């Protein structure tokens, strides 16, 4: 290797040491979630509702951070436990986020959205019309390998039971957060899974449980 090549390589190494975020430039770093304030619980429960008419206005990064923390964030840093229950603390659930800029995986430990790809696949997160234009669609995915299911063996309803329950807890947290923040949301089971799963690059033992559309209410 020539001397000039060594020098160029050294410059590249120094650049990525100083600016490590440039290696994953498409990831989205989230601000720290706000853990105080909001609507009183009983008022949020009283106002909670599903909605299917959304504005195309996008939530802020702070709102995304707060919502995802409410859904599946870490609220006990010492042992990594979450804002929603997890049967036997297996924590097999993942929250994928579809935006117009692509598909992301919520990383609660580093508080960021890790980009899976840059394609807009919102329309595949539901069979209805509104997911395609709503700014955010969450996709709740269970990794059954973490529950001890072996690749190649049939997946039974019993294998999925805890993941369905855990998804319900997470989705309700999002409902209550949206109510408190003045946003709308709707949980959905009608999903073209045979089309969405390959677009998400899911592994054989990952299963889509539900999706949830989130956004500002449309102007009436």
Q: Is there a contact between 105 and 113 (Cβ–Cβ < 8 Å)?
A: yes
71-101 pLDDT, tens digit each: 999 999 999 999 999 999 999 999 999 999 9
Beta carbons of 61 and 31 less than 8 angstroms apart? yes
* CA atoms lying within 13 Å on the CB side of residue 47: 16
**pLDDT in the model for residue 18:** 42
Percent share of the chain, pLDDT over 70: 88
Per the domain annotation, does 7 fall within a domain? no
pLDDT for 21 beyond 50? no
Q: What is the pLDDT of residue 219?
A: 80
Which CATH number covers residue 166? 3.40.109.10
The answer as to whether 174 is a domain residue is yes
Determine, yes or no, domain membership for 129: yes
In a domain, 16, yes or no: no
* Higher-scoring residue by pLDDT: 18, 125: 125
Q: Kindly tell me if the per-residue pLDDT of 145 is higher than 70.
A: yes
pLDDT higher than threshold 90 for residue 177:
yes
Extract the runs of DSSP E, i.e. beta strands, from 86-203: 93-99, 102-107, 112-117, 136-143, 184-188
Half-sphere exposure of 117 (CA within 13 A, CB side): 9
**Does 22 reside within a domain?**
no
Q: Which helix (H) or strand (E) holds 214?
A: strand 206-215
Q: Look up the pTM and report it.
A: 0.88
Least confident range of 1-10, 52-61, 78-87, 114-123: 1-10
116, part of any domain: yes
Closest listed residue to residue 94, CA positions, set 106, 104, 109? 106
Residue 220, in any domain of the structure:
no
Q: Domain range for residue 116? A: 27-215
Count how many Cα atoms sit within 13 Å of the Cα of residue 151 in the half-sphere of its side chain. Answer: 5
Number of independent structural domains in the chain? 1
The reply to whether 197 falls in a domain is: yes
Q: What is the DSSP letter of 218?
A: P
């Amino acid at each position: 290797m020539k001397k000039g090549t060594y020098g160029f390589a050294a410059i590249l190494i120094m650049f990525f040491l100083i600016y490590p975020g440039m290696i994953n430039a498409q990831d989205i770093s989230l601000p720290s979630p706000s853990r105080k304030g909001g609507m009183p619980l009983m008022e949020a429960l009283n106002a909670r509702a599903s909605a299917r008419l959304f504005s195309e206005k996008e939530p802020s990064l702070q709102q995304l951070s707060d919502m995802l923390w409410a859904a599946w964030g870490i609220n006990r840093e010492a042992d990594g436990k979450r804002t929603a229950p997890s049967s036997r603390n297996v924590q097999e659930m993942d929250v994928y986020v579809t935006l117009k800029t692509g598909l992301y995986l919520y990383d609660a430990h580093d508080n960021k959205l890790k980009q899976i790809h840059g394609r807009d696949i919102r329309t595949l997160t539901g069979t209805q019309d509104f997911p395609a234009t709503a700014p955010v669609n969450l996709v709740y995915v269970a990794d059954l390998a973490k529950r001890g299911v072996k690749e190649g063996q049939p997946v039974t309803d019993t294998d999925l039971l805890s993941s369905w329950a855990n998804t319900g807890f997470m989705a309700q947290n999002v409902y209550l957060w949206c109510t408190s923040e003045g946003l709308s949301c709707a949980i959905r089971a009608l999903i073209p899974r045979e089309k969405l799963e390959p677009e998400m690059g899911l592994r054989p033992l990952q299963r889509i449980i539900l999706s949830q559309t989130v956004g500002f209410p449309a102007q009436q």
